Chains A and B, each alone.
Chain A
Amino acid sequence: MDPAAFAPAFAELAQRLQQQELLADFGLFALRGLTLQPVLDEACRVASRGLASQFAKILRYQQAEGDFVVQAGVGWRPGVVGHARLGADLASPAGYAFRTGKPVVSNHLGADDRFRTPHILAEHHIQRAINVLIDGGDTPAFGVLEVDSGERSDFESRDTAFLQGLANIVAAAVERSERQDALQRSEAMTRQLFESSPDCVKVLDPEGHLQRMNVNGLCLLEIDDFSALAGQPWETLWPAAEREQIRTIIEGARTGISGRFEAFCPTAKGTPKWWDVTVGPVMSEGGRIESLVSISRDITQRRHDMAVKDQLLEQKDLLMQEVHHRVRNSLQLVRTLLQLQVLTITDPAAREALQEAGQRVMTVAAVHKQLYVGHSVKEVELQPYLEGLLADLSVSLTDQVNGRRITWTAEAMQLPPDCVTSLGLIVAELVTNALKYGIGQVKVAVQMADAAVRISVEDEGPGFPVDFDPGRSHGLGMRLVTSMANGADGVHVDRSGGTSRIVVDLPLP
């Protein structure tokens, strides 16, 4: 055979071998590339050489605009690469390749009914074009790699294999670049968070050694030079008394458990400070604990404010105690003076009036006592008040009691102090009357009745006289009772049980 007959096959073989070599070299270049643009530029040079064409370009798809921009290229006039934009619709060869994912070979652009000839190609007298997709993997496709020619013989379908191989390497480089960008953005955000925190943020290794500290942390701890502390155990920053606690919380964080505590620790320059400290693990994607993060908030001012508040509360309590003490001393004075006055008077009516006045002082004092004992100055527990009041009455009216029992029942309730004072005066008046004029056991009962507190006092007498009308009584005690019950309608005699029973409804405020 004529050796010349093999010449085209040898030429073809040589071209494919060169393409393989170019791909291998480019693969290495792309792997070593730290940034994307040089990889794209080199891809265009390799495409141009591999297909022996003057023009090559990479068109990056612009999502927002819906078109391509010439991201890299060789052979083009100045002003095209980096600026020129082309349509990405199906009527352009590049758009078709991008949208269908299929390589496009067009050897007669001007006569190809499928496509229009883009303006830039016409300007450069391009007759033939070959386009392949630069895929995006998990993300939208990056764009198209295109080789153009106005001189060479037709592109062949086998050329697409070389060009697609090249585009796939570019796609891998794009993906790696995007991941790096995302990582850098994430790191930048983390760094920004780290530095913008107003608290003292420290990164520790899993053993609790200091790795990094944010600038605000250095200021808060009054540390001029972190390098002297880097690598030191974190616990060495703390007073000896706190170190065991630090070790425990680091141990917990190392097992994945976050911890929190409040403790005192002076700064590097000795300024006393209190800290609210949180320590937690930082996990890798594989679930391994890579480091620990400690966030210490300066709570010195809060602690100070709390101490001041406690001191003020203590002072308030002391002041209240003093006021109560003074009031009760004054009540003692008045009560004893009235008692002494009784002994100097012989007129029985006057003596009785003074004794009643003394009893009313004790009734008022009993309310004061319950206000002091209780937790609230706005409400008084009725039951202990009533119990204390009747015990005092029994002592002060010893002569009248003379062995008779005074019993009481009352619903558990809390009432405003003014209401309780009125209730106490009513009970004291009615019990005094029962002891004076009645017979046998005296029963006191207090219960709620609609919008009033119902007070009944009963003794074992035969009942009040038929003409007894408590609302028209001229005695001070019954006048007080009627007045506090909001008039005569609030006081009535109960004759239903055959005993002496009087019922008073004290309106609630």
Chain B
Amino acid sequence: MPSPSAPCLLLVDDDPLVRMVLTMGLQDKGFDVTEAATGEAAMMLMERGLQPMAVVSDIDLGQGCNGIELADWLADTYPDLRVVLISGRLRPELTSSRNHRSFLPKPFIIEALVRLLQH
């Protein structure tokens, strides 16, 4: 379980099961994870003062804004914030679009995600 001083992550994924197990996996790796099911919910959390060390977001988020749009908004609003985009779709062209942004195709092992976050 994360300690009180654990690094905070914001995890955005519209699939509740995937979100749940990724949260558990990241918590096991020592992260304090805040979850959001949509891009809008993630923006609201950020506007209310959440200060994560990084945002991990699925690209396909169902209705509403997608992960790319969320990442663009974060890049404009929080230019120094690291963003890791994850997706079951393969979109290699997205990986180099903006600074502080990485892409990890699903499925991945938690260690691979942790390595990206610590890089």
Contacts and interface: CB of A to CB of B under 8 A. Distances in A.
Contact of A332 (B24, B89, B107, B111): B107
Contact of A333 (B18, B28, B90, B111): B18
B22 to A, nearest CB: 6
Contacts of A337: 21
B111 A321 contact: no
A372 B90 contact: yes
Contacts of A331: 106-107
B110 A325 contact: no
Q: Which of B22, B88, B110 has the most chain A CB atoms closer than 10 A to its own CB?
A: B88
A340 B17 CA distance: 13
B2 interface: no
B111 A336 contact: no
Contacts of A396: 109, 111
A329 interface: yes
Interface string A380-403: 000000000000100110100000
Interface string A330-352: 01111111011001000000000
A152 interface: no
A341 to B, nearest CB: 10
Nearest to A325: B88
Q: Which of B25, B28, B87, B107 has the most chain A CB atoms closer than 10 A to its own CB?
A: B107
Contacts of B21: 332-333, 336-337, 340
Interface string A396-435: 1010000000000000000000000000000000000000
Contacts of A16: none
Nearest to B60: A325
Contacts of B112: 392, 395
Contact of A321 (B15, B28, B89, B105): B89
A369 B90 contact: yes
Contacts of A340: 21, 24-25, 28
Given A325-B60, A333-B17, A358 B109 contact: yes
Nearest to B86: A332
Contacts, number: 68
A179 to B, nearest CB: 72
B108 interface: yes
Contacts of A336: 18, 21-22, 24-25, 107, 110
A361 interface: yes
Interface string A280-318: 000000000000000000000000000000000000000
A116 interface: no
Interface string B35-77: 0000000000000000000000000100000000000000000
Contacts of A398: 111
A326 B60 CA distance: 11
Interface in A363-378: 365, 369, 372-373
B106 A328 contact: yes
Contacts of A321: 89
Nearest to A344: B28
B115 interface: yes
Contacts of B88: 324-329, 332
Interface in B9-38: 15, 17-18, 21-22, 24-25, 28
A362 interface: yes
B18 A332 contact: yes
Contacts of B115: 395
Given A321-B89, A325-B89, A339 B60 contact: no
Contact of A339 (B90, B106, B110): B110
Q: Which of A332, A340, A362, A395 has the most chain B CB atoms closer than 10 A to its own CB?
A: A332
A336 B110 CA distance: 7
A331 B88 CA distance: 9
A364 to B, nearest CB: 10
B25 A395 contact: no
Contact of A335 (B24, B28, B107): B107
Leading 6 A-B pairs by shortest Cβ distance: A328-B88, A325-B88, A332-B107, A331-B107, A336-B21, A332-B106
Given A332-B18, A361-B107, A373-B90, 17 more contacts: A321-B89, A324-B89, A325-B87, A326-B88, A329-B18, A332-B21, A332-B108, A335-B109, A336-B22, A336-B107, A336-B110, A340-B21, A340-B24, A343-B28, A369-B90, A372-B90, A395-B111
Interface of B: 15, 17-18, 21-22, 24-25, 28, 60, 87-90, 105-112, 115
29 contacts: A321-B89, A324-B88, A325-B60, A326-B88, A328-B107, A329-B18, A329-B106, A331-B106, A331-B107, A332-B21, A332-B106, A332-B107, A332-B108, A333-B18, A335-B107, A335-B108, A336-B21, A336-B25, A336-B107, A336-B110, A340-B21, A358-B109, A362-B109, A369-B90, A369-B105, A372-B90, A373-B90, A395-B115, A398-B111
